[in-house]
Amino acid sequence: MSPQSQQQFIQYLQTDLGVSDKAIDLALRCQEPSRGQLHMVLWQYGLLDLEQLGEAFEWQVNKTVCSSASDA
């Protein structure tokens, strides 16, 4: 994920899903290539529930589809 996309995703997590700044900071510190994506780290630490995790995946898929369509 590009830095710009990650920043947009973090903004989405904070504004739409209500994830706190502290939770985001923790997940960013714990995020490693072997651990997976930011929303998976948040879920693993219990900072997102399953519904929020699903919404985060949907946002990411929609963002990817929209980006691909605008690039074409």
Tens of pLDDT, residue by residue over 33-56, are 655 688 888 999 999 999 999 999
pTM, two decimal places: 0.68
Cα(53)–Cα(70) distance, rounded to whole angstroms?
26
Q: What is the structure's pLDDT at 72?
A: 59
Helix 50-71 with 3-15: angle, nearest 10 deg: 140
Cα(2)–Cα(24) distance, rounded to whole angstroms?
17
In a domain, 15, yes or no: yes
The total number of structural domains that make up the chain: 1
Q: Is the pLDDT of residue 18 over 90?
A: yes
**Helix extents (H) in 16-49:** 21-30, 38-44
Domain around 17: 3-67
In a domain, 46, yes or no: yes
Six-digit token string for 8: 């947009």
In a domain, 18, yes or no: yes
CB 39 within 8 A of CB 60: yes
Q: Is the pLDDT of residue 26 over 70?
A: yes
The mean pLDDT of 11-30, rounded to a whole number, is: 92
